[in-house]
Chain A
Amino acid sequence: TQLLEQSPQFLSIQEGENLTVYCNSSSVFSSLQWYRQEPGEGPVLLVTVVTGGEVKKLKRLTFQFGDARKDSSLHITAAQPGDTGLYLCAGAPYDKVIFGPGTSLSVIP
């Protein structure tokens, strides 16, 4: 059973479009992290959200933590080819960090 679910699994869009990806769980998290992974590399931390309802912005990326701290979303405005990659959410509901299966994003020029 996946403790963290992510949707969609795959997303292919044209440059300039907007998109939202989701991370959901039935467990409560003290914090959630979002990472981006490019082919052949390790995941790189984008943001960590801690407070329920929190919204964080990183240039064209907007992250939101659900009020109940069970879910999170990532919205990208005007996607660029450089946004291509695997987006992973992660958290530690118990004593170790778990990762969602990821959303693979492809932005076509």
Chain B
Amino acid sequence: KAGVTQTPRYLIKTRGQQVTLSCSPISGHRSVSWYQQTPGQGLQFLFEYFSETQRNKGNFPGRFSGRQFSNSRSEMNVSTLELGDSALYLCASSIPLGTAKNIQYFGAGTRLSVL
């Protein structure tokens, strides 16, 4: 069974630009969550999507948005990039049922550098 796939792996952008990151979850997983990881803040929850609907949202500005498609694939968009957006962006999929619902299966991440 293929794992979570994130593309691209690396991205370099300049301030003010916008970026779109992609995530393909494990087959059969309908929940997709996005996280931002930085050395200073650790893993911070961005949002969770289930059945094409945003189910939960973290404390990030509106520049951060996402969506989920009918095949459970998800995209995350960041507009008007700032230097502080440089981070590893991780996508995780899960089965939102019972005790397994909290277990996150992560992709390798997209390393975003904003210059």
Q: Which residues of A contact B (CB under 8 A)?
A: 30-31, 33, 35, 40-45, 48, 50, 88, 90-92, 95-102
Majority SS at the chain B contact face? strand
**Cross-interface CB contact of B108 among A41, A95, A96, cutoff 8 Å:** A41
Q: List 9 A-B contacts (CB under 8 A).
A: A30-B99, A33-B103, A43-B104, A43-B106, A45-B103, A45-B105, A97-B33, A97-B45, A97-B104
Q: Are B103 and A99 in contact (CB under 8 A)?
A: no
- A42-B107 in contact (CB<8A): yes
Would B56 and A96 count as touching, CB distance under 8 A?
Answer: yes
In Å, the complex CA distance between A104 and B36 comes to 18
CA A9 to CA B56, docked complex, whole Å? 28
B66 at interface (Cβ–Cβ under 8 A)?
no
B contact set with A: CB distance below 8 Å: 4, 33, 35, 42-43, 45, 48, 56, 58, 90, 92, 99, 101-109, 111
| B104 CB contact (under 8 Å) in A31, A41, A45 | A45
Contact A97–B102 (Cβ < 8 Å): yes
Give the distance in Å from the alpha carbon of A91 to the alpha carbon of B35 in the complex: 15
Are B42 and A101 in contact (CB-based, < 8 A)? yes
Which of B42, B45, B90, B106 lies in contact with A96, CB distance below 8 A?
Answer: B45
B96 nearest CB across to chain A (Å)? 11
Contact of A90 among B48, B104, B105, B107 (CB under 8 A): B104
Q: In the bound complex, how far is the Cα of B35 from the Cα of A97, in angstroms?
A: 11
User: How distant is A49 from chain B, measured CB to nearest CB, in Å?
Assistant: 10
For A30, A44, A90, A97, the residue with the greatest tally of chain B CB atoms inside 10 Å of its CB is A97
Please give 20 more A-B residue pairs, beta carbons under 8 A apart, in addition to A30-B102, A45-B103, A102-B42.
A33-B103, A35-B104, A35-B106, A40-B111, A41-B108, A43-B90, A43-B104, A43-B106, A50-B99, A90-B102, A91-B102, A92-B101, A95-B56, A96-B45, A97-B33, A97-B45, A97-B104, A99-B43, A101-B42, A102-B43
